[in-house]
């Protein structure tokens, strides 16, 4: 991809999201699209939502102005699917549609991009590859939706992941991925200026579903000329390690505790780190650092000789497994401390 094209996409995405965020905030307050505080949330005042409008605007304008014409069908399908999810997310932010309705919307958006030729080609069996593609899109979209539980978390991690996708795609000469990742990085950072702790606006489901959908598309379209499939499958997993890790952690925790996976609660990775005494900002920095680290592993896997790449990827996956055990231990310790505190008060 021509570097002269790369820079305008990133800059326009950033500038558009930055300029649209105050307008999005005003519209959210005008129409009552706000996030109200409760016992399962960290913030203690009403926060305007609709930050997703700024994020989508940055993505759409950057791609419409600078995307290469040979990818018109694929970019058109992506923008259409993302717009549909943004609309469903906006309705959910205002009226709370529920996770089942959102998942149906995610499946529809997935079918739109599949029809345009964006799909996983793993087994060569269309029905099976389509099912895997839908699963990947729905899982990643929900992972980013689940992850949006702290100021600056989802926007920051999306920007970091998009940065790694941009670098790898640029090295591999993948024009579509480079353009989309650059637009995503610029838009996420532009919104992050207002969303970083203490945030003046939240992205809402309108934004988190668009970010998750976009990252899922990037993972699908990331292709390699030299590396074998038994190595390359680890690259998007490592780049997206944090959202993948967090949704597995949350879903398994809730099932073990007899709760619905869709039931919100303070059981995310960020909440567990804060239970150790970390502030919101330090928690953000730890998670940003982890995303940078795992993304670096994914970058190394993308070009190292296969035996070395397998070793690096294996180490990364093992670290994720170890961190999962640690997070479960932290959760158990926090629950014991909470129950002991309740008992001491009652006595």
Q: ∠ at Cα 287 (180, 149), nearest 5°?
A: 80
Residue whose pair of structure tokens reads 């479960």 in the numeric block = 328
User: Which string of b and e fits 29-41 if b means at least 16 CB within 10 Å?
Assistant: eeeebbbeeeeee
Please, are residues 21 and 54 in contact by the beta-carbon 8 Å criterion? yes
pLDDT given for residue 1 in this prediction: 47
Token pair listed for 340: 């002991």
Average pLDDT of the segment spanning 173-200 = 94
For the entire predicted model, the pTM comes to 0.92
State the pLDDT confidence band at 264, using cuts at 50, 70 and 90: confident
CA–CA gap between residue 173 and residue 220 (Å, rounded): 15
What confidence score (pLDDT) does residue 124 get? 83
Report the C-alpha gap between 258 and 299 in whole angstroms: 38
35 SS3 class: strand
How do the domains of the chain map onto residue ranges? 3-342
89: phi > 0 → left, psi -120 to 50 → alpha, else beta; which? Answer: alpha
Share of the chain above pLDDT 70, in %: 93
Q: Which residue has the higher pLDDT, 259 or 141?
A: 141
Measured in degrees and rounded to the nearest 5, phi and psi for residue 220 equal -70, -45
- Given a cut of 80, whether residue 266 has pLDDT beyond it is yes
Ranges 42-56, 190-204, 311-325: which has the least confidence: 42-56
Task: Give the angle 145-156-106 at the CA atoms, nearest 5°.
Answer: 25
In angstroms, the CA 288 to CA 134 distance is 28
DSSP SS3 for 34? strand
DSSP state of 174: -
- Assign 48 to helix, strand or coil: strand
216 in Cβ contact with 247 (< 8 Å): no
List pLDDT tens digits, range 34-61.
987 655 555 456 789 999 999 999 999 9
Q: Tell me the C-alpha distance between 222 and 239, whole Å.
A: 11
């Amino acid at each position: 991809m021509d570097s002269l094209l790369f820079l305008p996409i990133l800059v326009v995405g950033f500038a558009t999201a930055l300029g649209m965020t105050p307008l999005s905030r005003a519209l959210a307050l005008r129409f009552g699209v706000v996030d109200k505080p409760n016992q399962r949330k960290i913030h203690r005042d009403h926060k305007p939502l609709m930050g997703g409008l700024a994020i989508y605007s940055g993505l759409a304008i950057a791609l419409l102005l600078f995307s290469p014409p040979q990818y018109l069908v694929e970019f058109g399908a992506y923008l259409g699917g993302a717009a549909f999810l943004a609309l469903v997310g906006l309705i959910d932010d205002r009226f709370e549609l529920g996770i089942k309705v959102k998942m149906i919307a995610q499946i529809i958006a997935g079918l739109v991009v599949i029809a345009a030729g964006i799909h996983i080609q793993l087994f060569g069996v269309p029905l099976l590859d389509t099912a895997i593609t839908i699963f990947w899109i729905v899982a990643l979209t929900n992972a980013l939706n689940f992850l949006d539980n702290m100021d600056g978390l989802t926007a920051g991690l999306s920007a970091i992941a998009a940065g790694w996708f941009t670098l790898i795609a640029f090295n591999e000469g993948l024009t579509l991925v480079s353009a989309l990742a650059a637009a995503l990085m610029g838009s996420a950072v532009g919104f992050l200026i207002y969303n970083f702790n203490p945030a003046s606006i939240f992205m809402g489901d309108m934004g988190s579903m668009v970010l998750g959908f976009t990252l899922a598309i990037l993972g699908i379209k990331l292709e390699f000329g030299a590396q074998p499939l038994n190595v390359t499958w680890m690259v998007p997993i490592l780049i997206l390690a944090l959202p993948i890790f967090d949704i597995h952690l949350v879903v398994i925790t809730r099932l073990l505790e007899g709760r619905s996976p869709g039931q919100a609660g303070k059981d995310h990775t960020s909440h567990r780190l804060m239970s150790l005494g970390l502030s919101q900002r330090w928690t953000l920095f730890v998670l940003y650092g982890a995303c940078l680290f795992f993304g670096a592993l994914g970058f190394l896997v993308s070009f190292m000789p296969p035996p070395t790449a397998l070793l690096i990827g294996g180490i990364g996956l093992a670290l994720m497994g170890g961190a999962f055990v640690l997070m479960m231990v932290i959760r158990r310790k926090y629950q014991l401390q909470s129950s002991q505190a309740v008992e001491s008060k009652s006595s």
